[in-house]
A and B are shown apart, each in its own frame.
Chain A
Amino acid sequence: MTYPSHDPELGGLAQLLRDDAQASVPPEVDLRGRMALERRLREETERVPGSARPFYLLGGAVAVMAFVALFVLRMRPLSYEVRGARSDGPYIGAPATTPVTVAFADGSSIEGAPGSRLRVDETRAAGARVLVERGRAAVHVAHRTGSAWNFVAGPFDVHVTGTRFDLSWDPSGEAVELRLYEGSVEVRGPLAEAPIAVRAGQRFRADLGTRSMTVNDVAAEVATAVALPQAPEAASAAEPKTPALPTSNGDAPSPAATTELAPARPLPLSSEPWSALVARGQFETVVAKAGERGTHDCEASCGAADLRALADAARYTGRSAMAEGALKALRSRFGASKEGRAAAFTLGRLAEARGSMSEAGRWYDTYLGELPGGDLAAEALAGKMRTVMATSGKAAAEPVARKYLSLYPNGVHAQTARGIVAGTPHP
């Protein structure tokens, strides 16, 4: 779908939101949504119309009263009771041979396996923070609007809104395992900068000792890769490790459905054009494909569109050197093309980002010389203004600022340009 450019000044910001809004969701998420809808449709059609109608009014009245009561109650922290064991304040230890159940007022419950130890660290109006200090806990969180639960196992924090899962923590082995049956959760921990999504049918396991994390897609055969920043210690542990712990139902994870999360591995390679992959945000896949082919080979033989896509993917994943290589190849091999000429601007951006202002200025000049009326001309002129200012000072930047103001009086950088002009003594 193409979108009209309603407002050039908002173009970059709107594009940012559009890219995010259009980011493709994993197929299993879409499939789950589709199946849930189908289930709801079945429920709707199987319901006998009319029989429940006389109760609508009564139900409505009850609902209003319930709403009022709920509003009052929800301001209070959730209460809970412990069954099957004696609790010592927030500490709950399950006996060695029988489980313990913690039942919350909102219908959520936690069953601690025999020998496990839990701590209800904090209760809030719409959730609680529970520590699994040892052993396994079978958790069912009742989904409510605004509910927010945290389950902490060692240094891992599982954020939950409504779901059912098993969570275990082995403090001696420093290993956590999470198996999700319903909904989705996010796990934050020291091995990953970004939170990791775990969805129904998946099992997450992390081992602090080997600094490894895995997500096993047990239910579906689709593996989802999550790129993680590689910790220095993890660099030596490059070989994937199959989780050693058995699953809660005893089955062994299928190697084919296991995704090793640390170190990051590329997504399965696709035959789609690279530009399409970039458009869908699959930057790692593009970089991986280029890597398979050999980055230098690609620079020497890839087409202009692929080089442009590789440059974008490399930039978006922080591989500036690879991006520069692709852009320079684009210029040297396709210098007369639109992509080749536009590459000068991006090379300027990359140079500016690493602080090479003189080089950045030269690239902006190159762009302005080759495409004076190009799409990025205003931006290149602004870049030139910044680089001249950085290398030669305000006085030298003034003519550039004046030129910017004459060409783009309402441009995004007009205020900066006016500041430069105003701060320079006029001849």
Chain B
Amino acid sequence: MPAATGAVSRFPAERLGDAELVRAAARGEGDAVQVIWERYSRLVRGVLRGSLGPDHAIEDLLQEVFVGFLKGAKNIQEGAALRGYLVGVAVRLAALELRRRKIRRWVTLTPTGTLPERAEAPADSEGRAALAALHRVLDGVSSRRRLAFVLRHVQGLEILDVAASLGISESTARRELEKARTFVLKRAEREPALRPYVARATGGSA
């Protein structure tokens, strides 16, 4: 029987599962890293942006998440849980950033401790004002509570995943979510810019 000849083509990285991608990234394969970026940068950016609001640091933190992954890829035991891993790192960085903001307020490096609005602010001034108001409201809850709120209500994570990302028990996650919910709804009622959005709640989006 004649031997088969011809080059063996590599399996395309974009069709690899997360576990294979993690192993390939650990070996320093650039294609795999690109696919991971393609697959998850939007999600991670969303977690950071939802948690921190408009902030200059989002893109830097996004890099930190992925660089952290690159450095730790060899030690990741469950490659299939890549999504949770990246979200977890993003959450930790967001928590650090929130703490840093509080410290900055404390040492009054800026008068308010808040960053300027994001540059690519939407043309919709009503929406912009509402978003700023909502982040003001969220500034009033603890970092952990805020992150739980974002993971659950913005990223749509199940409670178990919220708990895992924050490193807390499911019951604690539930308590944090309930407290965040109560707080946000109560405060949002007092913010004129948020009233239309609170109002939408019972009826869906207008």
| A binding-site residues for B, Cβ under 8 Å | 1, 3-4, 6-23, 25-26, 29-30, 32-34, 36-38, 40-42, 44-45, 75, 124-126, 143, 145-146, 148, 159, 161, 184, 186, 188, 193-197, 226-227, 281, 283-284, 316-318, 345-346, 349, 374-380, 382, 408, 411-413, 415
Q: Which residues of A contact B203 (CB under 8 A)?
A: 345, 374-380
B205 within 8 A of A: yes
Asked if A9 contacts B201 (CB within 8 A), the reply is yes
> With contacts A20-B49, A37-B37, A146-B100 known, is A197 near B119, CB below 8 A?
yes
B37 adjacent to A13 (CB under 8 Å):
no
Of the residues A17, A19, A186, A382, contact of B199 by C-beta under 8 Å = A382
Residue of B whose beta carbon sits closest to that of A315: B124
- Sample of 14 further A-B pairs with CB below 8 A, known A186-B56, A318-B123, A412-B202: A6-B152, A10-B184, A12-B196, A16-B127, A16-B130, A21-B45, A23-B49, A45-B28, A148-B110, A226-B120, A317-B124, A349-B196, A376-B204, A412-B199
Query: A41 near B131 (CB under 8 angstroms)?
Result: no
Which of chain B's residues has its CB closest to A162's CB?
Answer: B60
Q: Which residue of B lies closest to A376 (CB)?
A: B203
- The residue of chain B having its C-beta at the shortest distance from the C-beta of A124 within the complex is B109
Question: Which one of B5-13, B15-23, B64-72 contacts A?
Answer: B64-72
Most B-side CB within 10 Å, residue of A226, A283, A376: A376
Are A316 and B124 neighbours in the complex by a CB distance under 8 Å? yes
Check B153 against A17 for contact (C-beta < 8 Å): yes
Whether a CB of chain A sits under 8 angstroms from the CB of B82 is no
CB distance from A130 to the nearest CB of B (A): 16
In the complex, what residues of A have CB within 8 A of residue B123's CB?
Answer: 227, 283-284, 316-318
Interchain Cβ contacts under 8 Å between A and B, 21 examples: A3-B156, A10-B185, A13-B194, A16-B134, A17-B153, A17-B154, A18-B154, A19-B127, A21-B155, A22-B42, A23-B122, A37-B63, A38-B30, A75-B107, A125-B109, A194-B119, A316-B126, A346-B206, A375-B204, A412-B189, A412-B198
State whether A30 touches B63 (Cβ < 8 A): no
In this complex, what residue of A is CB-closest to B56? A161
Select which of B34, B67, B104, B198 is within 8 A of A34 by beta carbon: B34
Q: How far is the CA of A33 from the CA of B44 in the complex (A)?
A: 13
Q: Say yes or no: is B59 at the interface (Cβ < 8 Å to chain A).
A: yes
The interface on chain B, measured as residues whose beta carbon lies within 8 A of the other chain's beta carbons, has a size of 68
Instruction: Decide if B49 touches A13 in the complex (CB within 8 Å).
Output: no
* CB of B101 to closest CB in A, whole Å: 9
Verify B50–A18 contact, CB threshold 8 A.
yes
A17, B50: Cβ atoms under 8 Å?
yes
Report yes or no: B63 in contact with A10, Cβ–Cβ below 8 A.
no
A378 to B202, CA, bound (A): 6
Shortest A178–chain B CB gap in Å is 13
Residues on the A chain within 8 Å of B134, using CB:
13, 16-17
Which residues of chain A are within 8 angstroms of B121 by Cβ–Cβ distance? 194-195
Contact digits for B103-132, partner A, Cβ 8 Å, 1 yes 0 no = 010010110000011111111111110110
Tell me the residues in window 129-165 of chain B with beta carbons closer than 8 Å to chain A beta carbons: 130-131, 134, 150, 152-156
* Choice from B45, B59, B201 contacting A11 with Cβ under 8 Å: B201
> B28 to chain A: closest CB distance in Å?
4
Decide yes or no whether B166 CB sits under 8 A from chain A.
no
Q: Per-position contact with A for B26-54: 1 when CB-CB < 8 Å, else 0?
A: 00101001100100011001110110011
Contact residues in B for A1 (Cβ distance below 8 Å) = 156
- B197 CB-CB contact with A under 8 Å: yes
**Which 10 A-B pairs give the minimum distances between C-beta atoms?**
A197-B119, A12-B200, A379-B203, A12-B197, A375-B204, A378-B202, A3-B156, A376-B203, A21-B50, A45-B28
* Interchain CB contact under 8 A, A10 and B181: yes
Task: Say whether B204 contacts A4, CB under 8 Å.
Answer: no
In the bound complex, what is the Cα–Cα distance between A22 and B120 (angstroms)? Answer: 13
The answer to whether A413 and B109 have CB atoms under 8 Å apart is: no
Nearest to B158 among chain A residues (CB) is: A4
Is B173 an interface residue, CB under 8 A from the partner?
no
With the chains together, A310 CA to B201 CA distance in Å? Answer: 23
Q: Which residue of B lies closest to A38 (CB)?
A: B30
Q: Is the CB of A41 within 8 A of B122?
A: no
